Amino acid sequence: MAKILVIEDDDALRNIVIQGLSDDHEVLATNNGFSGIELASAHLPDLVICDISMHGMDGYSVLTHLRSEEATAEISFIFLTAHGGREWMRRGMDLGADDYVTKPFNLIDLQQAVETRLSKKAFRDMQVDKKVSELRDSILTALPHELRTAIMVIEGYTHLLMDDLTHIGSEQMEMLQAIGDSTARMHRLAEKYLWYSRSQFLK
C-alpha cells in the first residue's frame, strides 16, 4: 500500500481526493503548503498530490522545497491545477513535477495518473535495488581475493625478515611476531568471508 500526501486548500476537493484514493492507499492530507512540507519530511510519502494556487505557499514553492532536500528530493509529485496553459505546465516540469491533473477532473483520471506514477516509481526502485544487489555481489566476490592477495604479500615479507635474524633485535622480533599473528588472523577472516560470499550465491 503506497503512502500519498494530498496538499489542497479546497476542503471539498481535498475530501473527494482522499475518499477516491484511501481504499487502495494510505492517504495523508493538509490544507496548506507549510504543513505539507512538514508532513512530507516526517512521513516520506511515495507520492505528493499538490494544488498550485494556495494561500501562503503555492505549489511551486512546495515542490521547490521538496526537491532541495535530500530526503524528499525523489518523491513523485503530481500537480492539481485549474490553469491549463502551457506556461503553467512548463514551469512545473522545469521545477521537477512528474505530472499534471487539470481541474475539473474526474476521479478515474486522477486514479489513473496516480497508478501510473506509482508504477514508474516501483520500477525505478526495482532498478535501484538491482544495481545495489549487483554491487553487493561484486564486492562479495572481489573483496576476499583482494584481502588474500594483500595478506600473502605481508606474510611473504614477514617470513623473509624472520628468516634473516642477523640484524634484528628482540624488540624488532616481537614486532615481526605481532605482524605475523595479525596476518594469520586476517587470513582466517578472509577465508570466512570467502565462504560467506560463496554461500550467498548458492541461495
Q: In the prediction, which pLDDT does 87 show?
A: 80
Residue 176, pLDDT score: 72
Residue 140 pLDDT level (bands cut at 50, 70, 90): low
**Count of Cβ atoms closer than 10 Å to residue 80 Cβ:** 24
Question: From CA 87, how far away is CA 96, in angstroms rounded?
Answer: 14
Residue 177 predicted with pLDDT over 80: no
pLDDT-derived band of residue 202, with 50, 70 and 90 as boundaries? Answer: very low
DSSP state of 82: S
Q: Which of 42-46, 47-51, 198-202 has the lowest mean pLDDT?
A: 198-202
Q: pLDDT band for position 143 (50/70/90)?
A: low
Confidence of residue 145 (pLDDT cuts 50, 70, 90): low
Q: 17, 48 in Cβ contact below 8 A?
A: no
pLDDT digits (tens, 9 = 90+) for 7-26: 999 999 999 999 999 999 99
- The residue among 142, 135, 154, 134 whose CA lies nearest residue 193 is 142
**Could you tell me what percent of the chain has a pLDDT over 70?**
79
CA distance 139 to 145: 10
Please state the pTM of the whole predicted model. Answer: 0.67
Task: DSSP letter for 77, please.
Answer: E
Contact indicator for 34, 69 with CB cutoff of 8 Å: no
Beta-sheet strands, E only, within the chain = 3-7, 26-30, 47-51, 76-81, 99-102
* 132 pLDDT above the threshold of 70: no
Which of these, 34, 96, 39, 94, lies nearest to 63 by C-alpha position? 96
202 or 160: whose pLDDT is higher? Answer: 160
